[in-house]
Structure 1
């Protein structure tokens, strides 16, 4: 592994070499993956993210907040002054405990809710818990996702897998928005996680790519619907990001991210500032936007 990266030093330097570069060790994990088993260990901004009060006293909900981008967002939101409720799967309890600790160590309220967002009742329970704990939902981040690489649509993508992808990635987003909207005040924000796959789909991730395309379209349509209510809706489209989902769902981890113009995968810490910006008042005239964080891959 080329490890010229320095653990996230944010001083001005060549971004291609700011973090570890391929080749990574080949590694495989059972789904949904575990942060502690990854080499190199993902950076969520633990040592580098510095808040400046952009989300002071806001109440935020982050789905899939136990690890990866979700953990980085939860930590950044806490350092920006927000209380955070995040969801996780039972199998992710160890990672969830660490995310909860990171948020609580910032002096903010940290609420971890185990749930399966593929069920509408579970999505309603998440929002009900947030309202009971915080009184409102200022920011909703729909980040939970499922993918599984398959060789072809004929030789791998079953109806069961397709259904799981769509229910986790698309249905849950719809259910979370519908449940949360009565509790999102004027000035609130929704930030969704789409993907470079929405625009440049990989055949081995066909169902996942289709779901991310749906999220991009849903984001832009909902933004128009909610504009007069004073609720902004945007999305972030990450490129390759080094999260537990990668060794748990892709057959090749050695060269992961090498295809990007920067020549490496992003770390979760590099995604969090995009979510903070879109959630914050600084983005007050931005709605219906897809913020591309792809390492240089050009998107429409």
Structure 2
């Protein structure tokens, strides 16, 4: 089925489940749509270097490929999804750009320092940082969230954003952009994703505060708060019957595709958003949110 036909399906995913996180994109049916066939780059990021965490699949893959089509070389970081990361690298290189892949746990500050160093060794500059990697775990009650899960979710989702931005900051110059992935759950909550939702709320505040701190240096900081998007995180989180229904109750009647979200990152990374900082975009299928 052509990608654009998949993208227009209201909710075309069959029941499926993956037993562990991070999920694997190559095991999903249908595969997520990472870029629309008609998307045409216009050189918005020519000469720039971008680092995208969670860049092996889902939104991260879509952002990496869109950035490459706009002229950027890209580094992607992933945990252990080597096959998916290799596919993203191939897709970026097919756009005529260079791609560095990095395997590691960004919840560790030393790993983030190593990643920043490798990007600089390979490319000699860094213009756009996309803090995107995340994990989530369903729990029916606060009583079911163990201390280990709580710490792990915060390490992956928000500690890593602190660590990596700190490690990259000495290399960012005037005109650089930091983009952080938060979620619609930061604004409306989710009773079964309590710790995940809390980290996403923290990311919103991180964006607003860091934007104010870095404004005098000419570095912009913004966020993107996707709604229900068809990524490997979904079958790796929810039971089969929930996956089959995923996104069907949104105003637009379908789950989003990564291709629906990535242009928001292109906008925030480029000079088109030169007068925007401390803000969050909401590609969420039409759900109103209050900031």
Q: Is TM-score (shorter-chain normalized) higher than 0.5?
A: yes
CA contact (8 A) 1:8 1:48 kept: no
Q: Structure 2 length as normaliser, TM-score? A: 0.96
Q: Partner of 2:203: helix, strand, or coil?
A: helix
- RMSD of the TM alignment (CA)? 1.4
- 1:153 counterpart residue number: 142
Aligned-partner Cα distance in 2 for 1:202–1:142: 22
Aligned-partner Cα distance in 2 for 1:111–1:215: 26
- 2:160 counterpart residue number: 172
Q: Partner of 1:254: helix, strand, or coil?
A: helix
- 1:246 counterpart residue number: 234
Greater mean alpha carbon deviation, residues 196-205 or residues 44-53: 44-53
Matched ranges for 1:209-224 at <5 A: 209-224=197-212
Matched ranges for 1:43-58 at <5 A: 43-45=33-35, 47-58=37-48
Q: Report runs of 4+ in structure 1 exceeding 3 Å deviation.
A: none
Q: Partner of 1:190: helix, strand, or coil?
A: strand
Q: CA deviation at 1:8?
A: 2.3
Say if 2:28 is the partner of 1:38.
Answer: yes
Q: CA deviation at 1:48?
A: 3.8
Say if 2:214 is the partner of 1:262.
Answer: no
Aligned-partner Cα distance in 2 for 1:18–1:248: 21
Greater mean alpha carbon deviation, residues 113-122 or residues 18-27: 18-27
Aligned-partner Cα distance in 1 for 2:200–2:15: 27
- 1:186 counterpart residue number: 174
Q: CA deviation at 1:107?
A: 1.3
Q: Partner of 2:4: helix, strand, or coil?
A: coil
Q: Structure 1 length as normaliser, TM-score? A: 0.93
Aligned-partner Cα distance in 1 for 2:248–2:12: 8
- 2:129 counterpart residue number: 140
Aligned-partner Cα distance in 2 for 1:109–1:283: 25
- 1:68 counterpart residue number: 58
CA contact (8 A) 2:35 2:259 kept: yes
Greater mean alpha carbon deviation, residues 20-29 or residues 224-233: 20-29
**How many aligned positions are there?**
287
